[in-house]
């Protein structure tokens, strides 16, 4: 689909009617309204969303990195259409070819990358796959329910996922979480202590974590039996909602050494950073460590179908230790999702996505650096592949400036920016500990012209926002 047609425009209620109905009939509990009134879109294609009038909005967040391969990707859409005409549904107690082929492709890729045999387990989305992983690691550890996780980490909003997501606001109304994770600091180079290099900062945080195991009185380790109270460490290699923070390259290697020493599993959350967002199929590949469990979702189906999964080492997930019925969803490994997921992996195997994404990311980052030099309110730009960030600050270049970011989002969604005499909009996502970081996750197929367009529109945004505050 691209721009909405006249027939489509005339066939639906106007925006005011729809918004009034939403206010009366829709739960607000399953959505987020970043602007008021919320924007209604009617079409999408490539890097753009379109409103009822056909106005283009350049999207630099691509459904929180679910649509890595562009909106309405023709190749992937055609696979979905074909699957609808062959085997659109299949009960999960039966098998269908693409489930097996997709699991095999992922598992063989993991063995090639990390050297471990393992198996793949499917479910319908990121939070649900995190839930399944929690069952897996609890089972593997003899029922231990406590986990380590990062400050600033986000793993979902189901009950189990909320217990390992650091934000208290996702738990506040739902009672006491006795199995809440122990949250440890994530290396945040922009806000590191003065006098330390990024690498020294990473080493410092690893050493601080290792101190928890020095004595039983630190509360996590029983030296008499050599056993930790914690089953696993849940980690995003780059924090996503936390602000696309890129850790020092030495950090995860040091952390994994400590985890291995004390028998704690490393569960890597690739829900937002997987499928070449950072220039590697899995973002953890940048850091030279071998995970025990990998959770994935979102871009596996390019946003066309809610499907995700996890991969785990054979000794954690073989049928003798994790038997039939350990978890279940009616829609897990549905044939529409597995068909598209298999095509995604075929497509990425035919093109050098690593080079394509790293080259485009470097070009985009250079554009952001030009803006950083021009606007002292941009405290830092950074990124890995096409996972990029711009931290918006006050004029001191360091103090978080949420008000300026909010104004930029409002202007972008107004659709009143100028691109060579045409009015258009800009879709941004905001993250970070202080909600002052623009997190960029454009289509992996974004063109140089579209990157240039994005940089120009960002320049307009911040210039106008500073004047209007």
pLDDT recorded at residue 31? 87
pLDDT recorded at residue 32? 85
Per-residue pLDDT of the chain in tens (469 residues, 90 and over written 9) = 567 776 766 788 999 999 999 999 999 999 888 899 999 999 999 999 999 999 999 999 999 999 999 999 999 999 999 999 999 999 989 999 999 999 999 999 999 999 999 999 999 999 999 999 999 999 999 999 999 999 999 999 999 999 999 999 999 999 999 999 999 999 999 999 999 999 999 999 999 999 999 999 999 999 999 999 999 999 999 999 999 999 999 999 999 999 999 999 999 999 999 999 999 999 999 999 999 999 999 999 999 999 999 999 999 999 999 999 999 999 999 999 999 999 999 999 999 999 999 999 999 999 999 999 999 999 999 999 999 999 999 999 999 999 999 999 999 999 999 999 999 999 999 999 999 999 999 999 999 999 999 999 999 999 999 999 9
CA dist 377 and 374 (Å) reads 9
Domains and CATH numbers, the chain: 6-61+353-468 (3.90.1150.10), 78-350 (3.40.640.10)
Q: Are 233 and 266 in contact (CB under 8 A)?
A: yes
* Beta-sheet pairing, 293-296 with 378-384: unpaired
User: Which residue(s) pair with 268 in the sheet?
Assistant: 235, 294
pLDDT recorded at residue 3? 72
* Beta-sheet pairing, 182-184 with 221-222: unpaired
- Print burial letters for 286-311: b (CB count within 10 Å at least 16), e (below 16): bbebebbbbbbbbbbbbbbbbbbbbb
Angle at 412 between CA 76 and CA 469, to 5 degrees: 155
CA dist 418 and 351 (Å) reads 34
Candidates 362, 372, 386; CA nearest to 458 is 372
Tally of helices (H runs) and strands (E runs) in the chain: 14, 18
Candidates 269, 191, 238, 265; CA nearest to 386 is 238
Tell me the three-class secondary structure of 242-283, residue by residue: CCCECCCCCHHHHHHHHHHHCCCEEEEECCCCCCCCCCCCCH
8-state DSSP, 215: S
User: Which residue(s) pair with 56 in the sheet?
Assistant: 50
Question: The whole model's pTM is what?
Answer: 0.97
Candidates 41, 85, 83, 81; CA nearest to 63 is 41
pLDDT recorded at residue 6? 63
pLDDT recorded at residue 29? 93
CA dist 13 and 39 (Å) reads 14
Q: Return the beta strands (E) in 60-184 as ranges.
A: 118-123, 146-150, 182-184
Structure tokens at 103: 């699991």
Q: Characterise 238 by phi-psi region: left (phi > 0), alpha (psi -120 to 50), beta (else).
A: beta
């Amino acid at each position: 689909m691209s721009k909405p047609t006249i027939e489509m425009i005339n066939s639906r209620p106007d925006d005011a009617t729809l918004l009034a109905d939403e206010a009366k009939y829709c739960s607000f509990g399953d959505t987020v309204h970043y602007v008021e009134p919320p924007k209604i879109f009617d079409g999408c294609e490539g890097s753009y969303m379109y409103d009822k009038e056909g106005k283009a909005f350049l999207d630099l967040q691509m459904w929180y990195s679910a649509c890595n391969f562009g909106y309405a990707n023709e190749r992937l859409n055609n696979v979905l259409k074909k699957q609808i005409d062959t085997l659109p549904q299949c009960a999960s107690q039966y098998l269908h070819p693409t489930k097996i082929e997709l699991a095999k492709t992922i598992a063989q890729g993991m063995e090639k990358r990390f050297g471990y045999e393992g198996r793949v387990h499917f479910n319908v989305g990121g939070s649900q796959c995190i839930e399944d992983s929690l069952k897996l690691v609890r089972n593997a550890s003899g029922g231990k329910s406590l986990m380590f996780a990062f400050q600033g980490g986000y793993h979902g909003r189901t009950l189990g996922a909320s217990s390992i997501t650091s934000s208290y606001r996702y738990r506040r109304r739902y009672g006491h979480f006795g199995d809440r994770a122990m949250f440890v600091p994530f290396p945040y180079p922009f806000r590191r202590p003065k006098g330390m290099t990024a690498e020294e900062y990473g080493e410092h945080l690893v050493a601080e974590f290792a101190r928890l195991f020095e004595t039983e009185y630190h509360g996590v380790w029983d030296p008499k039996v050599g056993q930790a109270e914690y089953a696993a460490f849940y980690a995003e290699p780059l924090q996503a909602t936390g602000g696309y923070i890129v850790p020092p390259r030495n950090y995860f290697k040091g952390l994994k050494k400590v985890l291995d020493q004390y028998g704690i599993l490393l569960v890597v959350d690739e829900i937002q950073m997987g499928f070449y967002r950072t220039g590697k199929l899995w973002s953890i590949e940048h850091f030279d460590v071998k995970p025990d469990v990998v959770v994935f979702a979102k871009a596996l189906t390019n946003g066309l179908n809610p499907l995700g999964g996890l991969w785990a080492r054979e000794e954690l997930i073989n049928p003798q230790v994790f038997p039939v019925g350990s978890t279940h969803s009616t829609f897990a490994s549905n044939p529409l999702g597995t068909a598209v997921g298999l095509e995604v992996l075929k497509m990425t195997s035919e093109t050098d996505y690593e080079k394509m994404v790293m080259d485009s990311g470097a070009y985009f980052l250079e554009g952001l650096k030009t803006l950083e030099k021009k606007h002292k309110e941009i405290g830092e730009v950074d990124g890995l592949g096409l996972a990029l960030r711009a931290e918006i600050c006050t004029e001191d270049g360091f103090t978080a400036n949420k008000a300026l970011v909010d104004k930029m989002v409002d202007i972008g969604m107004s659709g009143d920016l100028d691109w060579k005499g045409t009015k258009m909009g800009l879709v941004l996502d905001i993250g970070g500990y202080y909600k002052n970081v623009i997190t960029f996750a454009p289509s992996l197929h974004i063109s140089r012209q579209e990157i240039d367009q994005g940089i120009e529109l960002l320049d307009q945004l911040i210039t106008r926002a500073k004047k209007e505050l």
